[in-house]
Amino acid sequence: MKLLLDMQGAQSQSRYRGIGRYTLELGRAMATRPLPGMDLHFALNMQFGEAADAAISALGPHADTAHRLCYRSLEDVSFVAPSNEVRRHAAEAIVAHAFEQSGADVVWYSSVVEGYHEDVVIPARSLHTARSVATLYDLIPLHEPDTYLNHPRLRHWYDTRVKTLMQCDLLLAISEWARTDAIDRLGLVPERVVNIGAGVDPLFRPPAIPGPLAASLAHALGVRQPYVLYNGGLDPRKNVPRLIEAFARLPENVRNRHQLVIVGRTSAEQMATLSAAVRKAGLPAATVIFAGYVSDQMLVELYARCALFVFPSLLEGFGLSPLEAMSCGAAVLSSRAASLAEVVGCEDAMFDPTDALAMSEKMRQGLEDPGFNAFLRHHGKAQSARFSWQDTAARAYQAIDALPDRRMASARSSAITVRASSVVCLHSGRPPGWVEAIRGLAKCEAAELPGDISQASDALRLQLVATDHIVYALPLSDVWRMPSWLQAWPGTLVIEHDAEPLHSGGSALFRARYRAGGYAACLDPLATIPLRLGERCLGVVFDEGCSPTALSIDPAVPHDCFSPATHPDRLISRLLAWRETSAASSESRLLDELAGDATARLADDELAAISDAIVAARPSAHAHRWLIDVSQIARNDLGTGVQRVVRSVLRQWLLHPPLGIRIEPVAFVEGHFRFARRYTLGLMGIDAGQLDDDFVAPALGDQYVGLDWSAETMAAAAPVLQDWHRLGVGMHFVVHDLLPLSQPEAFHPFARELFLGWLQLASHVADAFHCVSRATASELEQWLGNGGAPFQFGRQPAVDCFPLGVEITTCASAPGELPLLLADAMAARPSLLMVGTLEPRKAHAQALGAAEHLWNQGVDVNLVIVGRYGWLVEDLARRLEQHPEQSHRLFWLRDIGDPALEAIYRKASVLLAPSLGEGFGLPLVEAAQRSLPVIARDLPVFREVMGDYPVYFQGQEPGDLARVLAAWLGNTPPPAPKRDWPNWAQSAQTLAAAIQKLSPG
């Protein structure tokens, strides 16, 4: 049995109250010890994004991507504003539809009485495909309607919520008092209301070493004396003003030795009322401390160290605060009203909440009589041990498991109304002949299918909302359009005779291959098109002259072969039958249900938003995708080392995608992620005009891979990535180095801040970081462990490493032509080669100084620098350009291609790598692959990557390096044995395996 627990009770403002704690603790207990045969899932409203993150964090692995449903609703749907009514009704229908689409057998509403001031959405109707359960906290507003329901709109809202409770198949009451009250007031059958009680979090335990008053309390709250504590809500029924009065009535010698600490989130209006009560009681302001909302850790300290905990509530559904206080070892006094006697379980600890004098006398006894205080503490520990969330969860499971199974097909079909059929035919050029033929049987309209779903006008969307049946009439070569359109608008596909042969290689067929099999399929002109239609396709009709064997269609999709023009009645019959037997029919009925009321009162863009929200509720129907972020390189490929990695890995994945994975490069453009199809086709050497860069709609099971370092777009993209993460998209980032943090002096302040901002935002959402070396991975783990950034779901990302590749074939490619002066110089004397952007950490200045030492000592050697102009090197650049050895024994080549670089590698004597810091050191590997000796600074990352192959040196002065160079030139040692490095195919495979291993699930 699939049980879906709606977590809005832990997302609204109730999350700061007992309802929020009850929802989270019970959900966690049920997930920890599930009943055999029960499959628990959690539903989260994406309108409350940060609260959703907090709930996912609190639930931990129990709310992984496979066990959570993050659904979209609408904005501005709170009950308080009459203008929200139509949107609210639409949102209720959307959420009900999302719950039904989830496949849940039972949907459990954690808190029904919500949504007056907030955008909490509780479906008003019963669910067609699932039984409904709700937590019953209390019906206290019905006890005091003049206080809580003193406005007609407020009363109307509460009545609708009570009606929803009454429609539920089962109510789970938090106390016997709440259960009995509901049965009596609502006339419910007793079997439909079950008392499951409540528990107390293991967090609420006495501290290991109680000790004196904690300094943290004194500093944070101003607590400087023994204190009486209250924790809870501050609405009128909580009776806090009378607690203030009772405290003021204590004997003066007792009162002066104590403070009153009141904990709880408060509004400005409540604060004014309580402050007035303090003044009326004649208490000094410092005597009463309003602590506001405090963390759980602080609350435990407050409970454990209080002289007395007093709970004066006039009405209570349970009383979680006194239970927590007892569990922490506090001496607890409580009102005897409503459910509190069940919780506290001791008549001697109770008082009349309407009598301030009696309350004060009981408080005096608890503060002045050590024996009575000790008795209260002893009793509280024993009493609180009787309450556990595990027992509560077991009672809830038992009650739900006993529900009769009412999920019958007849229940679903009862909502279906038989109406005269209307048909909209979407065609790719001109209306097919059968449109006229069926107009005698049904109302039929025809419209041209836009090139992409994003181009659909609001008028067309409204037309599709209003119709009973959508028919797509397309030639075989145009079926590439279908998956995205069917995902948005379920319908029947009529495939017509095609003038363009299936294997003609035309642009339409190219798009079909891309849609069906990704980029790799674009390079295979002979493969059969695997048309993935899924359940969004109600059925397929193959017109005469079109063979069903031309496509590989999911056998679950019904199909038939006939001419609709000749047999229009058969087409209508198929439309009716396939619609009612399809899983998509419920969505069509929902759209019908909304259209009448919504069309009249909402703007077209609001209707489009409603439609999009319904679409977002659908289960994912496509293969798992890796959304590869190429935002930076797609906009501006500078040819950097990082971008070389991006191109190399991406090419491998495009040509050889991991099994079951579809590779889709994406780029962040103007506030949205779009598919980077044109860039990708260009990278593959294919005409980039054949595909459009459509918007990305993520789905559960997708993985985002930050292969490119897209720091400039990260700040704007971060909210989108957070949203994707909640939906269940895995988040992966490739990290090349942490040099802006480890060597800040080598980077411009703007670049440092840009990098830090990127790393913090990436760390917030990441599931995993994939570093190009173990050294970088160790640095990153240390940075994360030191609190580098808060984590979205409270879990530190995993960190691993993968090796970069070297393409062996590049070594054998034909070298390019070198400038004559350089060619002559390299032929005349030994050449020291440096490869890399000119920037401070690369230590070009030290290398130039070392070369000058050698020249001054009469050593005839070239220094050849290959690298673009970087940053913070203005003086060095002038020194290079104006150097007397320039173009004689000193060469700086700023912009050369791979063939020229290959020629330089072949003619160089040694690669010089004096860099002060690197993430990997790809030029060293490239040199070693060519058997070119390497002299490198002794860095851990170079040792990791290169082993004993280079000659290592230390020291940052030119003379330090000059001595090593002179010794090497004077007695060139034989190079160490060449190591084997992975090629780019192996590198890409290793990274892919790590992504699959660390993907959330």
pLDDT digits (tens, 9 = 90+) for 208-219: 765 555 666 777
Asked whether residue 173 carries a pLDDT value surpassing 50, the answer given is yes
Q: What is the pLDDT of residues 179-206, one digit of tens each?
A: 999 999 999 999 999 999 999 988 999 9
Q: What is the pLDDT of residues 824-861, one digit of tens each?
A: 999 999 999 999 999 999 999 999 999 999 999 999 99
Q: What is the pLDDT of residues 481-506, one digit of tens each?
A: 677 788 778 899 998 876 554 444 45
Say if CB 98 and CB 68 are below 8 A apart.
no
**Domain spanning 808-981: CATH 3.40.50.2000:** yes
Tell me what pLDDT residue 273 has: 96
CA pair distance 667, 674, nearest whole angstrom: 5
Comparing 119-123, 418-422, 471-475, 566-570, which segment has the lowest mean pLDDT?
Answer: 418-422
What DSSP letter does each residue of 456-493 carry, written as one string?
--HHHHHHHHH-SEEEEEEEGGGGGGHHHHHHHS-EEE
CA pair distance 543, 529, nearest whole angstrom: 18
Tell me what pLDDT residue 593 has: 64
**Averaged pLDDT, 751-776:** 96
Instruction: Count the Cβ atoms, other than its own, within 10 Å of residue 858.
Output: 6
Q: What is the pLDDT of residues 520-537, one digit of tens each?
A: 777 765 555 556 666 678
CA pair distance 572, 440, nearest whole angstrom: 11
State the pLDDT confidence band at 598, using cuts at 50, 70 and 90.
Answer: low
Tell me what pLDDT residue 525 has: 58
Asked whether residue 644 carries a pLDDT value surpassing 50, the answer given is yes
CATH number of 624-801: 3.40.50
Tell me what pLDDT residue 488 has: 78
State the pLDDT confidence band at 413, using cuts at 50, 70 and 90.
Answer: very low
H or E element: which one contains 378? helix 370-384
Structure tokens at 739: 């040099």
Instruction: Count the Cβ atoms, other than its own, within 10 Å of residue 205.
Output: 17
What is the number of helices (H) and of strands (E) in the chain? 41, 34
Tell me what pLDDT residue 414 has: 36
3-class DSSP state of 661: strand
CA pair distance 542, 331, nearest whole angstrom: 79
**Averaged pLDDT, 786-802:** 92
Q: What is the mean pLDDT of the chain?
A: 89
Asked whether residue 395 carries a pLDDT value surpassing 50, the answer given is yes
**Averaged pLDDT, 35-46:** 96
Task: Compute the Cα dihedral for 347, 348, 349, 352 and give only its sign.
Answer: positive
Superfamily (CATH) of domain 215-385: Glycogen Phosphorylase B; (3.40.50.2000)
3-class DSSP state of 292: strand
Measure the CA angle with vertex 95, ends 91 and 99; round to 5°: 170
Structure tokens at 780: 């990153």
Q: CA dist 453 to 356, 461, 584, Å?
A: 68, 10, 18
Tell me what pLDDT residue 811 has: 47
Asked whether residue 911 carries a pLDDT value surpassing 80, the answer given is yes
What are the sequence ranges of the domains in the chain?
A: 2-195, 215-385, 422-616, 624-801, 808-981
Asked whether residue 55 carries a pLDDT value surpassing 70, the answer given is yes
Closest CA to 618 of 26, 53, 72, 34: 72
CA pair distance 478, 735, nearest whole angstrom: 41
Measure the CA angle with vertex 571, ends 565 and 573; round to 5°: 150
Please check whether the two domains, 215-385 and 624-801, share a CATH topology.
Answer: yes
**Averaged pLDDT, 928-956:** 94
Per DSSP, 938 falls in state -
Length of the chain: 1001
Closest CA to 340 of 242, 265, 237, 205: 237
Structure tokens at 381: 């520990």
Instruction: Provide the angle, in degrees to the nearest 10, between the axes of the packed helices 49-59 and 711-727.
Output: 60
Comparing 9-18, 565-574, 763-772, which segment has the lowest mean pLDDT?
Answer: 565-574
Structure tokens at 67: 């066990």
Q: Which residue type, as a one-letter code, is found at position 683?
A: L
CATH architecture of 2-195: 3-Layer(aba) Sandwich (3.40)
Comparing 374-378, 685-689, 751-755, 816-820, which segment has the lowest mean pLDDT?
Answer: 685-689
State the pLDDT confidence band at 409, using cuts at 50, 70 and 90.
Answer: very low
H or E element: which one contains 177? helix 176-186
Asked whether residue 325 carries a pLDDT value surpassing 80, the answer given is yes
3-class DSSP state of 880: helix
Residues 6+ apart with CB under 8 A from 315: 138, 140, 143, 144, 237, 337, 338
Task: Compute the Cα dihedral for 643, 649, 650, 655 and give only its sign.
Answer: positive
Gyration radius from the chain CA atoms: 36
Asked whether residue 364 carries a pLDDT value surpassing 80, the answer given is yes
**Averaged pLDDT, 606-618:** 69
Per DSSP, 126 falls in state P
- pLDDT cut 90: percent of the chain above it: 67
**Averaged pLDDT, 335-349:** 97
Q: pTM for the complete prediction?
A: 0.80
Q: CA dist 830 to 824, 860, 931, 966, 969, Å?
A: 11, 8, 16, 12, 8
Measure the CA angle with vertex 966, ends 963 and 971; round to 5°: 125
CA pair distance 827, 179, nearest whole angstrom: 96
